[in-house]
């Protein structure tokens, strides 16, 4: 059930008493050379954090950092990262550990979709699943030893979509499994493999999978479910970890061909606010929808 979100201040004007971060607070934003990711880097850097901007394309990533540094004297660093390539993740984590060693905020923004707004094909389903689910999962697992949980709470914010909510799943057996409080990572991977199998044999249309942007929706359904498991397993009190998901809504980005109800800056403003909530207000295991005071529900 969704409920009205309360007690969240605007990201542009946090209370001084709630400012828990400093220039030594380190955030990583993936897929950040443009769109919401770029705007998230800008928001966090303007708030005074040290921000790692990652992008698959080296030239575009460097250009993005140069643009940010031209506008303001911001602490932004570029690292190449292809979230769909395990070897790239390994190399990035190694470099990050050598240069910084600790991490406070991870924003998993990098994602792909090969559908136009009114299309629904699964030609690139394996790439979509690899990039949108397995990539963030492996990055979280690889960075986990570097999460700084001693003095504060490490925050993971997974950028996702309402297309990946459980109510979009029409397959009753899959839906029942996903709703189980004891859902496991192995079951999520089993679901993903079953979907890819259905794609391969051409039966995916009548198996109860989400009907809109099906491969993208399944990838985000898997990421949302994985986030729920992380939030349950590594609770704030014992592990100092907060894991939440944020659906920015219909945003004007390259994925939507520039169409949408609001800009990437609008979405990033609220996303940055979620990432910077003070410890006493910081939730875990939540799914946020919208780019302003909107709706929140349990994962």
Q: Is 239 a catalytic residue?
A: no
Where does residue 258 fall: left (phi above 0), alpha (psi -120 to 50 degrees), or beta otherwise?
A: left
- What gap in Å lies between CA 21 and CA 87, rounded to an integer? 32
Q: Which of 9, 79, 134, 216 is catalytic?
A: 216
Under 8 Å between Cβ of 32 and 41: yes
The answer to whether 11 touches 248, Cβ cutoff 8 Å, is no
Distance CA 155, CA 170 (A): 32
Q: In whole angstroms, what is the distance from residue 2 CA to residue 252 CA?
A: 25
Closest CA to 123 of 214, 190, 258: 214
Cβ neighbours for 12, distance < 8 A, ≥ 6 positions apart: 269
Q: Which residues are catalytic?
A: 216
């Amino acid at each position: 059930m969704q409920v009205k979100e309360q007690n969240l201040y605007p990201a542009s004007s946090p209370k001084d008493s709630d400012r828990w971060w400093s220039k030594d607070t380190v955030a990583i934003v993936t897929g950040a050379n443009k769109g919401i990711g770029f705007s998230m880097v800008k928001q966090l850097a303007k708030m005074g954090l040290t921000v790692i901007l990652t992008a698959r394309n080296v030239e575009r990533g460097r250009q993005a950092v140069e643009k940010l540094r031209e506008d303001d004297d911001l602490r932004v660093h570029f690292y190449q990262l292809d979230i769909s390539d395990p070897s790239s993740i390994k190399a990035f984590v190694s470099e990050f550990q050598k240069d910084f060693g600790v991490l406070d905020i991870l924003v998993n923004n990098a994602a792909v979709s090969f559908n136009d707004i009114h299309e629904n094909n699964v030609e690139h389903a394996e790439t979509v699943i690899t990039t949108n689910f397995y990539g963030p999962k492996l990055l979280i697992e690889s960075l986990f030893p570097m999460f700084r949980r001693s003095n504060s709470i490490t925050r993971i914010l997974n950028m996702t979509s309402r297309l990946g909510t459980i109510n979009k799943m029409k397959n009753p057996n899959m839906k029942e499994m996903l709703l189980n409080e004891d859902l496991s990572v192995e079951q999520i991977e089993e679901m993903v493999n079953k979907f890819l199998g259905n794609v391969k044999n051409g039966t995916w249309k009548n198996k109860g999978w989400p009907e809109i942007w099906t491969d993208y929706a399944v990838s985000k359904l898997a990421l949302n479910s994985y986030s729920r498991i992380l939030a349950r397993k590594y609770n704030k009190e014992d592990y100092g970890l907060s894991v939440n998901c944020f659906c920015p809504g219909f945003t004007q980005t390259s994925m939507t061909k520039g169409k949408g109800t609001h800009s990437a800056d609008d979405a990033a403003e609220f996303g940055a606010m979620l990432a910077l909530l003070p410890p006493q207000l910081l939730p875990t295991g939540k799914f946020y929808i919208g780019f302003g005071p909107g709706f929140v529900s349990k994962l």
